[in-house]
Structure 1
Amino acid sequence: MLFAQGGSIKGLVFDQQTKRPIAYASVSVLKAADSTVVAGSLTKASGAFAFSGLTPGNYVLRVAFLGYHTKMTGTLNLTGNGQIEAGTILLSLSETALDQVQVTGRHADALNKIDKQTYRADQFESARGGTAIDVLKNLPSVTINGEGEISMRGSAGFLVLVNGKPVLTDAQTVLSQLPANSLQNIELITAPSAKYDPDGKAGIINITTKKGADDGFTMTANAQAGLPSTGDHGNQEQPKRFGGDLTLNYRKGKWDLSAGGNYLRADVAGYREGDVYTLNFLNNTITRFPSNGERSFDKYNYAGRFSASYKADARNTFSAGLFLGHRFQSRLADILYTNSTADLTTQAVQKSITYFNSNLQTKEGGFSLGSLDYTHTFANKSTLTASALYEHANLYGNSKNRNLQYPNTADTIQYVLNPYKNPINGYRLRLDYATAIGTGKLESGYQFRYDTQDGQFDYFVTPAVSQPDAARFRGSARAKNQINSFYTQYSGRESKLEYTAGLRYEYAARTVNLSYDPTPHQLKLSNLFPSANLLYTFKEGWQAKAGYSRRVQRTTNFELNPIPEREHSETLEQGDPDLLPEFVDLAELGLVRTFSKGSFFSTLYYQNIQNPIQRVNSVYADTILNRVFTNADRARSFGLEAGTNLQPASWWSLYLGGNIYNYKINGSLNILGVTSYVSNANWVYSINVNTNFRLGPAWNLQGNVNYLSRRPTAQGEDSRFLVPNASLRKSFMNGRFAATLQWQNIDLGMKRSNRQRITTWGNDFYTTTNYIYETDVVMLNLSFNLNKLRGKMKLPASEFGDKEF
C-alpha cells in the first residue's frame, strides 16, 4: 500500500491559463511554524505529486516552476496516519517570463546561484555532433586556445565533475569523450564550498548529462558527417569526420535504467611555421633552424555507458554506473628544417644543412570505470551516502622521429623511437552525512583517494650514437598518491540572505620512485581549505554575492616524470619528480540582475597563486630545446567577467559573455639546476557571442564567435585566437527529428581564424611557432528524439587516467 506508514499529502499542479498539467514542477513540504523543508519532489507528467511517511503537524506546500510565480498553499493540518488531498494547485506565468513562454517556448539559457552559473547546453547549435569541449568554449569565463587547452578565468587548472562526481584528470581528454548531444547543463562553480574536492585552482566545471524524465522508454540518437575544409594545407591525407551517439532510458516503478554509446572520428588537418635560434656563448656561435610543414591529427574515441538506480523504498536508494571507453590520437608532423650555424660576432656562416623530420606521436588508452552509491534517509530526513569508485586505465604509445636527407628522403640520417606503457589503477571511497539544524543544513564527510601509475619508458637510436646521458632516457617511473580528507559545512537562509561556510582538512602523501634513483621522491602535506559564500537579494531582480575558497592544483604524473621524451626533432619533454602543487586563494564579488527581457551578471575576482607550475624551455643542444615543468614563486590574477542573456524580440535571442583580467607571474625558476628570474605581466581578455534567429516555427539560424586576446606566459606570450561559426537548423515531426548544417571555423580566405602563434625566449634562445588549422569546415548533424531526455544520467567519471593521456 502506498501510504502504509505515517501521514500523506498528494495533489496536482496545473497551468492556470491552459488548465494543463505541469510536469517536473518542484513541490516542497514546509513546516508551517518555521518554513523548514521536510520533503521535496518533482511532479510527474500528469502533474501529480505525493508525499508519504510524514509525521503529524501543520504544513504548507511551496510549488515552483521556471517561468511561473511560486505559490504557497494555506496551512494543512496532518493528524496521525491521515491523508490530505491538496487538490489542484494552479500556477500563473510570471510577468518576466510571459512573453518568452507564450511566443518562443524557450527555457532560461542561464541561471545564477549562490556559488555557480548554470548554462543550458543545447542553446549552442554549433556544438551539435561535437563534444563537451565545443559547448564549454562558449561560456563567458572559458577559453580554448589553438592547442585545445581549456582555461577558466585564464587558468588551465580546474576540477571537472560529471553529474557531481569528480574527475581528477586532464579536462581536455575527459571532455573530448562526452558527446555534446548528451549534455543537459554546464555549471561553473567559481568559489566552491568545502564539500567539494579542493582540486582545481580556477574552480569547478560540473557537467550534467541527460536521461529520461518520464516513466517508460525514451531514446535520443544523433549522427554527423563532414566535408573536407576548403584548404587542407597539402596534408598527406584528407581528414575524416563522422560519428554518432545513442542514449536509451527506461523508468518504471523503483527502477531507472540508462544506457548509451558513442563513436566520434574528428581528424584535424594543419600546418606549422617555426623559427628558432640558440646562442652558444662558449663557442661564440648562433644556430638557426627555421622550419615549416604539416602538423595534422587523427583522432577517434568510442565508449559505452550504463547506469542503474533502484529505489528500494522511501528511505533507501542504490545506484551503479559503468563506463568502458577507448581513445586514440596520432599527431603527424612532417617538417622541413634549414639549419645553419654562424659566428655570433661576424654572422659568417660556418655550416648549414637542410633535412626533413617526419615525426609521428601516438597516444592510446582504454578506460574502465565502475561506481556504486547508496543513500539512506533517516526518519528525521537526514541522509547518509556511501560511494565507491574504481578505475583502470591502460595507457600506451610512442614517438617516432625520422630525420631524413632532403630532397632524397629515402636516406635516413637518424631514427629515434620512444615507446612507453603507463597503466593506472585508482579508487575513491566517500561517506557523507547531511542533517537539518535550525533553519539550515549541516553537511559533513570523509573521503579516501588512492591511485598508482607504473610507467615504463624506452629509448632507441638508429644508428647508435655516443650520448653520455642516454641512460636517463629510459627506465621506469612509479608514482603513488594517497589522500585522506574530512569536511564540514553549514548552509542556510535568513530572510533575504543565503549563506554557506565550511572547512576541509586534508592529508596528502605522494611518492615517486625512479629506476635510476635509489632515493624515493616524497612529499607529505597537511592543509586546511576554508570556504564561504553569501548571496543577498536587496531588491526585486537584484542580487549581490561574495565568495572565498582556498584551492589546490595537484601535479599530474606526466608533470612529475623526469624521463625525457623526444617529442620531435627540436624538443625534449620531461617533468620534475619534486614539483610542488599550486595553492590558490580565490575571492570574488558579484552582481546579478534579472529583468523582463533577460538577465545580466558581473563578477570581480582575485586569485593569489603560490608555486605556479610552468612549462618552460632551456637549451639542451644547439638544435634541441628542453621543455620542462618547474615552479615559479608566485603569480596573481585579478579581473572582471560579465555575461548577459537577452531576448530583444520573440524571434531573436542573444548571449554575450566576456572576461578581462591582468595576470602577473614573478620569481625564480629552477630549470634543470639552472636558476633564472621571471617577471611577466599583461592584460588578457576574451569574448564569446552566441545569437539565435527564429526564422519560422521549425527554422533556426545561429552564429557564434569565440575570441581570445594575446596573453603572457612565463617566458613569452601566445597570440590571439579567433573562431567564428554558424549553423542552420530545421526540425521535423513536431521536433522529434532535426537536421543541423554547421559552418565551422569561418575564415573566407582572410587567414585570421583558427590559428595561433606561440613565442618564448630566454637568455640563450628564441622560438616562435605559428599553428595553422583548418577553416571553413561544413558538417551535417541529424538527431532523433523519442520522448524527451532530461535530468542526470548518473555515470562514473574518470578520476585518474585521462590526465596522463
Structure 2
Amino acid sequence: MKQYLLNILLLFFIQTISAQKASIKGTILDDQNAVPIEYASVALLSSLDNSVIEGDVSNKNGNFSIQNIKSGSYKLKIYFVGYESQILENIKVEDNKNTELGAIRLKPGAQELNEVVMRGRKAKSYNKIDKQQYKASQFETAKGGSAVDVIKNLPSVTVNGEGSISFRGSNSFMVLIDGKPVLTDPATILSQLPANTIQNIELITAPSAKYDPDGKGGIINIVTTKGSADSFAISANLTGGLPSTDDYDNLEKPRRFGGDITANYKKNKIDLSLTANYQRNDNNGYREGDAYTKDFDANTITRFPSNGERSFDKYNYSAKTALIYTANKNNSFNFGFYLGRKFQSRRADLVYRNSTSDLISNAVLNQLTYFNSNVQTKEGKFTLANFDYTHTFINKSALTVSALYEHADLYGNTVNLNMDYPAKETVFQEINNPYSNPIYGYRLKLDYTVAIGEGKLESGYQYREDKQDGTFGYTVDPEPVPPVDNSWFRGTARTNNHINAVYSQYSGKSEKLSYIAGLRYEYAQREVVLSTDVNPHRLNFSNLFPSANLLYAFNDSWNAKAGYSKRVQRNNNSELNPIPEREHSETLEQGDPDLLPQFIDLAELGINHTFKKGTLFATLYYQNIKNPVQRVNSVYNDTILNRVYTNAERARLYGVEMGTNLKPWKWVSLYLGANMYNYRINGRLDVLGEASTVDNSDWVYSLNSNCTFSLDKNWSITANVNYTSEKPTAQGEDSRFLVPNMSLKRTILDGKGSLGFQWQNISLGNMGTNQQRITTYGSDFYTTTNYIYETNVLLLNFSYNFNKLTSKNKLPASEFGEKEF
C-alpha cells in the first residue's frame, strides 16, 4: 500500500512539472440572435478514441478557455440543454501556443435521448434513467426558508404538521448533500439547509448499487449553489418576518429572521467556496387533546383531555468551506470543513382535566384539574471535516479516495412542571430528563471507474463506523411517598455500528436503450450496551443489494424507464434506546435494543414525454417491506401512555405519481405534481412483551402545485398549494393537511437583486389550514390530538447576486450527528 501511494505521488509530480501551456479559447453564441450562452459545456476529445481529455464551462459572456493542453490533434464538442450539440474536427494544437476558435454558434434543437428536458427560457425539470431533477428557483414561496420548504412541493414528497417528511409514503429515506451521504434524520438536516443555497433537487427513486442502500423510500440529493467559470461570485439573502397575524395567547411572540451568504472564487487550479447562514424561525400554535384509558380489572375509565399552548423557538447557524485544487487533468483534491449549531425549544403548556368514572355506570369517582408546563430543549454542536482525492489514469480510468470525520455534541433536557390551576402558584411535582449523547463517526471510501466496451464499470469499497455514548438522567421533586424505584428511567446507552461494503455496477447505452445494473454486498455489526442490562445486545447481518435500471427512448419526445433496488432502513439510536423519556405529562417514550432493521424491495415503471409547451411523466411504483418499524402506544398507568418502537411483520405499498412542468404562455409557468398510493401494514406486533396483531390499510394521496405569473420583466407572482389526504397508521390515522402560500417578487439592480414579499400558510376560513389531527387507539386506550399551527405568516426577503453561482463544489454535511438531534 505504501509503495502504491508513492507511485501515485510520483506520477502526480511528473505530470505537474511536464504540463504544457497551450490553450484553446472561443465564444459560444446563440445562432439566432448571437446572444452569449452561459454554462454551455465544452469537452476536448481525443481524435483517436473520442475519450474526454479536458473541459470547461462558458461564462456569462459565452467565453471558454481550456488550458495546459499537450500538442496534437483533437475534437471539440459543445453542448447545452435545448440546443443541437456541435463537434469541431481536426483542431491542431502546438506547444506553448494559443488556439483561438472565435465565435461558435449553437442552433436550438432536440435534447439527448437519456433525459427529458422542458424547453423554454430555463429548464425546470428533468427525468433521467435513475432520477427526477427539479430546479429549486421555480419555488419562490420557499425563499428565506429551508430545504424542507423546497422539497415539499415535489410530487413524491409530503410534509405533515409535525414537520415529518414522507417520500413516496415513507418517512424513511436517505439524504445526500452534493452527492455525499448524510446519515441523519431527514427533517433535521434539511431544516438547517437554507433554501436560497439550493440549485437542484434530485429524487433518486430506484438507486443503483454505488449508493448506500440506506433509506426505505429512496434518496433525495440536494445540489447546492457554488461557482462555475473563472470568477469571483457572491450570493446573499436576508429574510425578516412581520408581526404575527394570529394570537394563540402564547407566552412569547415568535421571531423570524435570518440570512445567508455564499462566496466562490475560482481561478485556474483553485476553486474555493464559503457559505455562512443564520436562521431564526419560531412557530406559535395551540394543541387540543382528548384521551382515555380503560382498566378492565378495576372496571374504570380515566379521561384526561387537555388544551393549551404548543410553540417552538428554533434557530441554527453554520459555516462551511470547501477547497478544490486541480493540480492537473489527472489529479484533484477536495478539502471541506463545517461548523454548526442547532437549538430547539418546544413548549407545551397544557391544562389537564382528569376524571375517573365507573366503566359501566359512568359515575364519576374522582376528578383533578392541573396545569402542566412542559419544555423540551435540544441542542447540537457539529464539527465535520472531509478529504477527497481523485486520480485519473492514462486510460481515463479514475480512482477516488474519500474520508470523512464527524463529532457531534448533543445534549438537552425535558422539564415537566405540574402545578395547581388556575392560580399556577404551587409546583407540586417537577420532573427532569437531562441527557448528553455525543457521537463520533467516520467513513472511508475507495472508488474505481473504468471504461469497458461501450459502457462504464464502477467498483468500490466502503467502511463506516459511528459510536454514540448516551447518559440519561431522571429526577423527581419531591420524591413520591412511599418511595418509587426510578432506576430504569436513568442510565447509559452506548451504541456501536460497523459496516463493510463492496459494490460493482456497469452502465452503458446501446442505440435507444440505456442501462445500469449492479450488486452491493454489506456485512454490518451492531452492538447496544446498557447500564441496566449486563448482556450486550448484538446484531450481525450479511446482505446482498442488487439493483437495475433501464431507459428506452422511443423518439425525441417519448421514453420509458424501469427500475429495481433492494434497500435497508437501519435503526437509529432513538429507536434502540430503552431508557424511557417523560416527553409529556401523559406520555413516556422508549426504544427497543433488539429492534430489527427494515428490508425493502423497490420497483418502478414509468413513462416520460416532452412537448413544445413542457414535460409530463407518470410512474407506477411498488414497495415490499419486511420488519416495518412502528411507534405504537400501550397503557403505562391510568393517565400515562407508553410510546414504544417495535417491528411489525410486513407492509406493502403501491402507487402512482405524476408531474408536469408547463409554460402555456410566455408569462405563465405551471408545475403540478400528484401522488396516490395504497399502504397496508399487517402481522404480529410485540409491544413490551405483549403480542397483538395489526391489519390496517387505506388509500393516501397528495397534490402539490406551483404557478408563477410574470407580470413584466421585473414583477412576478407565485402561488402554491400543498395538500395531503388522511393517512393510516399501525393504530389509527393522521388527518389531512393543507398549506397554501403566495409570494410577490420584484427584480432590482439590473437583475442582480430582488425583493420578495411572502404570505405563508394562508388561512382559508374553516378549511383548517396548517393544522393536523393525530389519532391512535387500542382495546384499552384512545388518544386524539389536534395540532394547530400559525397561519398568515408574512415575510420580507432581499436577495443579491454579484456574478452568478452554479453547482460544482461539494461542501461537507453531517453524516451521523444530526440523526439523533
Q: Same fold (TM over 0.5)?
A: yes
Aligned to 2:248: 233
> In structure 1, what is the equivalent of residue 323 of structure 2?
308
Matches within 5 A, 1:523-562: 523-562=539-578
Residue 462 of structure 1 is matched in structure 2 by: 477
How many Å separate the matches in 1 of 2:475 and 2:524? 37
Asked whether 1:141 is paired with 2:156, we answer yes
Match for residue 173 of structure 1?
188
Q: Distance in 2 between matches of 1:249 and 1:29?
A: 25
CA 1:10 to 1:730, structure 2 compared with 1: closer, same or farther past 3 Å? closer
Letter of the structure 2 residue corresponding to residue 387 of structure 1: S
SS of residue in 2 equivalent to 1:362 = strand
Paired with 2:397 and 2:713, the residues of 1 have a C-alpha distance of 47
Name 1:515's counterpart in structure 2.
531
Cα offset, 1:319, TM superposition? 1.0
Which structure 2 residues correspond to residues 423-502 of structure 1 after superposition, within 5 A?
Answer: 423-465=438-480, 466=482, 468-502=484-518
Q: 1:488 to 1:83 in 2, by over 3 A?
A: farther
Q: CA deviation at 1:132?
A: 0.6
Q: How many residues align?
A: 798
For 1:79 and 1:96, how far apart are their aligned partners in 2? 34
Q: Counterpart of 1:93?
A: 108
Cα distance in 2 for residues equivalent to 1:408 and 1:700: 53
For residues 605-638 of structure 1, the C-alpha deviation after alignment (integer angstroms, 9 at most, x for no partner) is 0000000000100000000000010000000000
1:733 aligns with 2:749: yes
- 1:286 maps to a residue whose letter is I
Relative to structure 1, the CA distance from residue 84 to residue 439 in structure 2 (aligned partners, 3 Å threshold; closer, same or farther) is farther
The CA RMSD measured in Å over matched residues stands at: 2.2
Change (3 A) 1:408 1:83: closer
> What is the aligned partner in structure 2 of residue 755 from structure 1?
771
2:301 match: 286
Q: Is the 8 A contact 2:54 2:66 kept in 1?
A: no
The answer as to whether partners of 2:21 and 2:67 remain within 8 angstroms in 1 is no
Does residue 359 in structure 1 map to residue 359 in structure 2?
no
Report SS of the residue matched to 2:141: helix
Greater shift, 649-658 or 245-254, is seen at 245-254
Q: Give the counterpart letter for 1:281 in structure 2.
A: F
Question: Is contact 1:167-1:799 (8 Å) kept?
Answer: yes
Q: Which amino acid aligns with 2:502?
A: F
- What amino acid does structure 1 have at the position aligned with 2:487? A
Find the residue that maps to 1:176 and give its secondary structure: helix
Q: Tell me by how many angstroms 1:755 deviates.
A: 0.1
Structure 1 residues 313 and 39: CA distance shift in structure 2, 3 A:
closer
Alignment of 1:324 onto 2:332 = no
Counterpart check, 1:369 vs 2:384 = yes
Query: What is the distance in 2 between the residues matched to 1:74 and 1:725?
Result: 52
Conservation of the 8 A alpha-carbon contact between 1:222 and 1:781: yes
Quote how far apart the aligned CAs of 1:516 are.
1.1
Report the equivalent of 2:277.
262
In the aligned structure 2, how far is the partner of 1:215 from the partner of 1:231?
49
Mapping of residues 588-667 of structure 1, within 5 Å? 588-667=604-683
Q: Alpha carbons of 1:316 and 1:548: their partners in 2 closer, same or farther (altered >3 Å)? A: same
TM-aligned CA deviation for residue 184 of structure 1 = 0.5
2:110 is aligned with 1:106: no
Distance 2:268 2:564 in 1: 43
State TM-score, norm by structure 2: 0.94
Q: Where does 1:576-595 land on structure 2 (aligned, <5 Å)?
A: 576-595=592-611
Q: Name stretches of at least 5 consecutive residues in structure 1 with no aligned partner.
A: 98-103
1:208 aligns with 2:187: no
**SS of the residue 1:518 aligns to:** coil
Write the distance in 2 (CA, Å) between the matches of 1:123 and 1:27.
27
Per-residue deviation, 1:89: 2.9
User: 1:26 Cα deviation (Å)?
Assistant: 1.7
Aligned match of 1:792 in 808, 812, 815?
808
Cα distance in 2 for partners of 1:795, 1:69 equals 33
Q: Residue 776 of structure 2 contacts residue 784 of structure 2 at CA under 8 Å; is this kept in 1?
A: yes
Match among 746, 749, 752 for residue 762 of structure 2: 746
Q: 1:96·1:596 contact (CA, 8 Å) conserved in 2? A: no
1:689-728 map, 5 Å: 689-728=705-744
Deviation string 1:763-802 (CA, Å, 9 cap, x unpaired) is: 1101000000000111001111111111134211111111
Deviates more, 1:431-440 or 1:786-795: 786-795
**1:17-96 → structure 2 map (5 Å cutoff):** 17-29=32-44, 39-45=54-60, 46-50=62-66, 60-74=75-89, 88-94=103-109
CA distance in 2, matches of 1:90, 1:362: 59
1:74: Cα distance to partner? Answer: 4.4
Q: TM-score, normalised by structure 1?
A: 0.96
Change (3 A) 1:764 1:55: farther
Q: How far apart in 2 are the matches of 1:788 and 1:127?
A: 20
Q: Which moved more, 1:631-640 or 1:412-421?
A: 412-421
Does the CA-based 8 Å contact 1:3-1:52 persist in structure 2? no
Which residue does 2:694 correspond to in 1? 678
Residue type at the aligned position of 1:759: T
What is the rounded CA distance, in whole Å, between the counterparts of 1:497 and 1:76 in structure 2? 32
Letter in 2 for 1:510: R
How far, CA to CA, are the matches of 2:653 and 2:277 in structure 1? 39
Q: Cα offset for 1:539? A: 1.8
How many angstroms apart in 1 are the aligned matches of 2:601 and 2:645?
22
Aligned-residue offset at 1:236 = 1.1
Partner amino acid, structure 2, of 1:769? T
The answer to whether 1:802 aligns with 2:812 is no
Contact 1:71 1:91 in 2 (8 A): yes
Q: Which residue of 2 aligns with 1:419?
A: 434
Residue of structure 2 in register with 1:119 after alignment = 134
Structure 2 counterpart SS, 1:577: coil
1:382 aligns with 2:382: no
1:36, 1:439 within 8 Å by CA — same for their partners in 2? Answer: no
SS in 2 for 1:472: helix
Per the alignment, residue 100 of structure 1 pairs with none
- Measured after TM superposition, the shift of residue 47 of structure 1 is 2.5
Distance 2:577 2:787 in 1: 27
Work out the CA distance in 1 between the residues paired with 2:520 and 2:797.
45
Q: Identify which range, 234-243 or 41-50, moves more after superposition.
A: 41-50
Q: After TM superposition, give the deviation of residue 96 of structure 1 in Å.
A: 9.3
Q: Is the Cα contact below 8 Å between 1:366 and 1:394 reproduced in 2? A: yes
1:572 and 2:578 are equivalent in the alignment: no
Q: In structure 2, how many angstroms separate the alpha carbons of the residues matched to 1:32 and 1:212?
A: 31
Q: Distance in 1 between matches of 2:619 and 2:71?
A: 44
Partner secondary structure for residue 381 of structure 1? coil
Task: Tell me the CA shift for residue 538 of structure 1.
Answer: 0.8
Instruction: Evaluate the alpha carbon distance shift between residue 467 and residue 427 of structure 1 in structure 2; reply closer, same or farther with a 3 A threshold.
Output: farther
Residue 411 of structure 1 and its aligned partner are, at CA, apart by 1.4
Shift of 1:512: 0.4
Asked whether the 8 Å contact 2:20–2:95 carries over to 1, the reply is no
The residue number in structure 1 matching 2:791 is 775
Whether the aligned pair in 1 keeps the contact of 2:84 and 2:111 (CA below 8 Å) is no
1:764 to 765, 771, 780: 780
CA distance in 2, matches of 1:557, 1:333: 25
Distance 2:127 2:215 in 1: 21
Distance in 2 (alpha carbons) for counterparts of 1:405 and 1:109: 57
Distance 1:234 1:82, change over 3 A: closer
Structure 1 residue 71, shift from structure 2 partner: 2.4
Deviates more, 1:226-235 or 1:148-157: 226-235
Q: Matches of 1:419 and 1:77 in 2, distance apart?
A: 71
Once residues 448 and 95 of structure 2 are traced to their aligned partners in structure 1, the CA distance between those partners, rounded to angstroms, is: 29
For 1:101, the equivalent position in structure 2 comes to none
